[in-house]
Structure 1
Amino acid sequence: MAATRYRRFLRLCEEWPLDQTKKGRDLGAFIRQRVAQGFREGESTQITDPEKCDQMYESLARIHSAYYKNKYPRLRNTSFTGVTVEECRMVLATDNMKQMEEMKKGMWKKLREKLTGKPEEVTKEYV
């Protein structure tokens, strides 16, 4: 029975898309990693709680199939701020988030990093 569960999870991982703009923060990559941890021995892995495993699979399958998006359709594809889905994706991309963090740094921190060649360590003295 563990072999069947393992194959179902593998099929789900294959179907789940990877978002290359969210390096290190992508849900698809995280799910793949957790499946690899959960099924270390592949099809011969012993599952301690089959019910919980099945519930987890069903939950992930509903998310992947957009079950709730279809069940509760939205009137508009914007948020309360008026930002569209594409604009949100652009803002949440890892590269853009790094740029935003760089913009948040003060002038002295930027200057200190340029002179020392490494980012400043936050110490309790200055916090």
Structure 2
Amino acid sequence: MAATRYRRFLKLCEEWPLDQTKKGRDLGSFIRQRVAQGFREGESTQYPRLRNTSFTGVTVEECRMVLATDNMKQIEEMKKGMWKKLREKFTGKPEDVPKECV
């Protein structure tokens, strides 16, 4: 497993050249250093989480709540325009029409 990851890392290094004009702040150089450090430490490398949020500042629980199916339906309903809501209200959907009327 580690050998495969290391080969992928070497391939990435070949495709991502170093930018000599950005000494000390080159992303390619930083990635090489961090990955090399991780391989030296072995498979059990764990990076501690400093915060319980993502870059948005939203916690995992808040993400789950927002992405729940019920909430997604409410959001979609809120996105509908006024004309579409009125049209749905007055035209009636086929499932809203009683069977004896059809």
TM-score normalized by the length of structure 1: 0.36
Q: 1:80: how far off?
A: 0.7
1:10-62 deviations in Å (ceiling 9; x for gaps): 9999999999999999999999999999999999999xxxxxxxxxxxxxxxx
What secondary structure sits across from 1:77 in the alignment?
coil
Higher-Rg member (1/2): 2
Distance 2:20 2:98 in 1: 34
The count of residues paired between Structure 1 and Structure 2 equals: 102
Q: 1:75: how far off?
A: 1.7
Contact 1:109/1:120 (8 A) holds in 2: no
1:78-102 deviations in Å (ceiling 9; x for gaps): 0111011111010000000000000
- Structure 1 stretch displaced more, 34-43 or 77-86: 34-43
Give percent identity, aligned residues only: 93
- Structure 1 stretch displaced more, 36-45 or 106-115: 36-45
Q: Which runs of 4+ in 1 moved over 6 A?
A: 1-46, 119-127
- Structure 1 residue ranges without an equivalent (≥5): 47-71
TM-score normalized by the length of structure 2: 0.44
Distance 1:21 1:119 in 2: 66
Greater relative CO, 1 or 2 (CA 8 Å, sep 6+): 1
What secondary structure sits across from 1:3 in the alignment?
helix
